[in-house]
């Protein structure tokens, strides 16, 4: 590829390359681009000759990108997003008549806090805007935002993500949740020994590894007994309501349940929720309107 000149390459081929990279399948890439599958195959063959690389290898799980493809795709996607943004630049945004799909990355707890209020506001202010919510892993978040396949992320601050703008939405402390008729529910406060005597629900998207609570306890040479490890905060309080287990939960979510809540008998860092968007979208009127709405919803 070293001797390849940009003027030698049909720029439409990069649209095909991007579609194959996203779909990992030639037929689905063709459907995304609204062209035939043979046209996608022909475009891929031209790119392979031009760049002197296979670019994608057929495997049992789909078209797998080569190291060269992985290395250049972030820049290709960023360039395509910049071009798309420059062609669709608006001087204003009219939410009442806009038709748009808003794509958000967040976990289940953020969905619980945000989506009911967001959809209520959109119905009133921008009924033509639909919403897609799914979780994009942090190591892929910058790439998705740069490629304009994602509008916003709601996550912890990403200190090394220099391509992103970040705005704090919420600073959340943790509480200990017990069911309302738990044997310890009548206590004025929980001591550390009482907290550690309980069985605990631990919420994590990972299969193994400690959480923020366990790290804080380990620093004191203490350890809690985890009886249940689950992926989502949405189900954890339902377990607590039917058992003697305890859940250490962000205060913004804890208040939604008829439970007994205690301040923690030890210090742990609070949870920072940030709104993340790519700097390429900073001046886009639609992006500006949506992020102002999201900030407004969290200030309430």
Whole-number pLDDT of residue 159: 73
pLDDT digits (tens, 9 = 90+) for 178-227: 999 999 999 999 999 999 999 999 998 788 888 899 999 999 999 999 99
Q: What is the mean pLDDT of the chain?
A: 88
pLDDT band at 54 (very low <50, low <70, confident <90, very high): very high
Q: Which CATH architecture has domain 100-166+274-299?
A: 3-Layer(aba) Sandwich (3.40)
pLDDT band at 3 (very low <50, low <70, confident <90, very high): very low
- Helix H or strand E encompassing 216: helix 212-219
Same fold, 100-166+274-299 and 174-269: yes
Q: Residues 6 or more apart from 2 whose CB is under 8 A from it?
A: none
Q: Residues 6 or more apart from 75 whose CB is under 8 A from it?
A: none
The backbone torsions φ and ψ at residue 272, rounded to the nearest 5 degrees and listed phi first, read: -100, 120
Lowest mean pLDDT among 40-54, 76-90, 238-252, 255-269: 76-90
Find the mean pLDDT for residues 32-49: 87
Q: Residues 6 or more apart from 204 whose CB is under 8 A from it?
A: 211, 229, 231
Whole-number pLDDT of residue 2: 42
Asked if the model's pLDDT at residue 148 lies above 50, the reply is yes
Q: Residues 6 or more apart from 48 whose CB is under 8 A from it?
A: 54, 55
Edge to edge, the sheet with strand 246-250 lists 225-230, 199-203, 246-250, 174-179, 259-263
Percent of the chain past pLDDT 90, that is, above it, reads 50
Euclidean distance between CA atoms 284 and 278, whole angstroms: 11
Asked if the model's pLDDT at residue 25 lies above 50, the reply is yes
Asked if the model's pLDDT at residue 17 lies above 70, the reply is yes
Find the mean pLDDT for residues 6-29: 81
Find the mean pLDDT for residues 236-253: 94
Domain boundaries, the chain: 6-87, 100-166+274-299, 174-269
The distance in angstroms from the start CA to the end CA of the chain is 54
Residue 229, helix vs strand vs coil: strand
Whole-number pLDDT of residue 138: 82
- CATH class of this structure's domain 6-87: mainly alpha
pLDDT band at 9 (very low <50, low <70, confident <90, very high): low
Are 161 and 274 a contacting pair, CB within 8 Å?
no
| DSSP string for residues in 247-299 | EEEEHHHHTTSSEEEEE-SS--PPEEEEEEEEGGGTT-HHHHHHHHHHHHHHH
pTM of the model: 0.63
Asked if the model's pLDDT at residue 142 lies above 80, the reply is yes
Nearest to 266 by CA among 201, 196, 186: 196
Q: Which CATH architecture has domain 174-269?
A: 3-Layer(aba) Sandwich (3.40)
Asked if the model's pLDDT at residue 243 lies above 80, the reply is yes
Whole-number pLDDT of residue 259: 95
Positions of E strands within 66-213: 100-105, 129-134, 152-155, 164-172, 174-179, 199-203
Percent of the chain past pLDDT 70, that is, above it, reads 92
| Count of CA atoms in the C-beta half-sphere (13 A) of 72 | 14
């Amino acid at each position: 590829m070293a001797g390849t000149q940009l003027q030698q390459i049909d720029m439409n081929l990069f649209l095909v390359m991007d579609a194959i990279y996203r779909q990992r399948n030639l037929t689905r890439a063709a459907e995304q681009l609204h062209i035939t599958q043979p046209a996608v195959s022909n475009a891929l063959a031209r790119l392979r000759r031009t760049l002197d690389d296979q670019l994608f290898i057929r495997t049992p799980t789909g078209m797998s990108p080569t190291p060269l493809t992985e290395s250049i795709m972030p820049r290709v996607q960023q360039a395509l997003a910049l071009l798309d943004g420059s062609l669709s630049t608006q001087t204003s945004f009219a939410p009442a008549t806009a038709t748009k799909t808003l794509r958000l990355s967040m976990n289940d707890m953020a969905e619980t806090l945000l989506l009911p209020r967001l959809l209520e506001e959109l119905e009133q202010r921008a009924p033509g805007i639909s919403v897609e919510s799914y979780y994009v892993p942090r190591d892929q978040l910058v790439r998705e935002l740069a490629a304009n396949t994602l509008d916003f992320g709601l996550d912890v601050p990403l200190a090394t993500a220099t391509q992103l703008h970040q705005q704090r939405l919420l600073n959340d402390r943790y509480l200990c949740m017990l069911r309302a008729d738990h044997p310890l529910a009548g206590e004025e406060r929980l001591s550390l020994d009482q907290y550690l005597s309980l069985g605990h629900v631990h919420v994590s998207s990972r299969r193994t590894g400690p959480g923020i609570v366990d790290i804080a306890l380990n620093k004191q040479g203490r350890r809690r007994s985890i009886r249940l490890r689950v992926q989502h905060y949405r189900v954890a309080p339902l377990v607590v309501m039917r058992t003697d287990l305890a859940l250490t939960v962000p205060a913004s979510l804890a208040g939604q349940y008829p439970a007994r809540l205690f301040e923690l008998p030890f210090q742990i860092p609070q949870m920072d929720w940030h709104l993340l968007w790519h700097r390429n979208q900073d001046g886009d009127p639609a992006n500006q309107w949506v992020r102002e709405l999201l900030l407004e919803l969290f200030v309430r």
